[in-house]
Structure 1
């Protein structure tokens, strides 16, 4: 069981880290391949993309901490200091969720009649993806990529609470 859990935690933290790095290169590639999107000129892109990367780094940190603790201390229980730090990150995430729509408005006003619509649309998808990642980390597991998760979903017909959400219960 420990080996299976260690592999799962390793998969999760390396996947988050890989996505963090890959998205940076992907954004550069898209920027230079499709300059008409004007991604790097959109404030909404910069804020949405930073928010997404910030979330992925949080996920990497969280899963790595659980993996490291399992390897070295033979328990995957998240240290309370880490849970508190994640609770602090949660406040920053909410701030990003609130601020980002205003950056869309600023971009709309800045570009008015020459708004790069496709770039604007792509940024909207990035923002939506970031919100889904936030929900996935802090409230409900949205990704079901293994047999155990799928069996739970099929059996209960409900989304699982996020691991971090369960950790927050320990703060009260």
Structure 2
């Protein structure tokens, strides 16, 4: 079981980090292939994109810390200082969720009638994806990608609390 859990944590932290790196290259390719989107000129793109990247790095660090502790100490419980860090990051992420729409408003004011709607739409999609990632990490597990998770979903007919959310309840004790 330990090896299976170790493999799962490794898959999760490396997957989150890989996604963060790949999204950088994808954004560069999209900006180059579709200059009419004006992605790199949109404040809303940068606010949404950087927020998403920040969340992916957080997710990678969270799973890495669990993996490292399991490997070194044979414990799958998240270290308390890591949970405390994420409790503070949760607040910072909420601030970013609230502030990002102001970047969209700034784009509306700056671009006026020449607003690149397709670029703005893509920025909005990235923002919504980031908000879903935040929910997935800090509140409710939205990703069900293994047999155990799918079985839980089928059996209980409800979504699980996220792993990090369960860790937060340990802080309160």
TM-score band, normalised by the shorter chain? Answer: over 0.9
Give the gaps of 5 or more residues in structure 2.
Answer: none
Aligned to 1:164: 164
Structure 1, unmatched stretches of 5+, are none
Shift of 1:91: 1.1
Counterpart for residue 106 of structure 1: 106
Query: How far apart, CA to CA, are the structure 2 residues paired with 1:72 and 1:130?
Result: 32
Deviation string, structure 1 residues 112-167 (Cα, Å, up to 9, x no partner): 11000000000000000000000000001100011110000000000010000000
TM-score (norm 1): 0.99
Distance of 2:90 and 2:36 partners within structure 1: 34
Residue deviations 1:32-75 (CA, integer Å, cap 9, x gap): 11010000100011110010000000000000000010011001
What corresponds to 2:28 in structure 1? 28
Offset, 1:80: 0.4
Deviation at 1:15, TM superposition (A): 0.3
Mapped to 2, the partners of 1:16 and 1:79 lie a distance apart of 20
RMSD: 0.5
Q: Distance in 1 between matches of 2:96 and 2:35?
A: 26
> Structure 1: how far apart are the matches of 2:92 and 2:48?
13
Aligned counterparts of 2:95 and 2:40: Cα–Cα separation in 1: 22
Q: State how far apart, in whole Å, the 2-side matches of 1:40 and 1:91 are.
A: 27
- 2:144: which partner in 1? 144
Q: In the comparison of the two structures, how many residue pairs are matched?
A: 172
Q: Where has structure 1 moved over 6 Å in runs of 4 or more?
A: none
